[in-house]
Amino acid sequence: MATITFDTLSYAKKLKSAGFTDQQAEIQAEALKGLLVSELATKSDLQTEISKAKVEIIKWVAGMLVAQAAIVATLVKLL
């Protein structure tokens, strides 16, 4: 699993300087940290999705080759 570095203290201080209360800034910082950790895709996630896409493309191309062969065979019989 990938490690994500997010400085909640620094973020909360910036929110406080922008007018947030201490409680609002702390809750906002923790909520953002939780989103970053749970929602970001890792390199492994992306590699898995790329592998799935490659398999789907190969299936589609193979299907098109079979269809093309059937069309050519039908045209040869007609001519």
Domain ranges of the chain: 1-40, 41-79
Give the model's pLDDT for residue 2: 55
State yes or no: pLDDT of 3 exceeds 80: no
Residue 17 pLDDT grade (very low, low, confident, very high; cuts 50, 70, 90): very high
Give the model's pLDDT for residue 5: 75
Residue 14 pLDDT grade (very low, low, confident, very high; cuts 50, 70, 90): very high
Structure confidence by residue, pLDDT tens digits, 31-59: 888 877 776 777 888 899 999 999 999 99
The residue count for the chain? 79
- Give the pair of three-digit tokens for residue 53: 């896409």
> Is the model's pTM score more than 0.85?
no
- Give the pair of three-digit tokens for residue 69: 């062969």
Q: What value does the mean pLDDT take over residues 55-75?
A: 95
Over 10-34, what HEC string results?
HHHHHHHHCCCCHHHHHHHHHHHHH
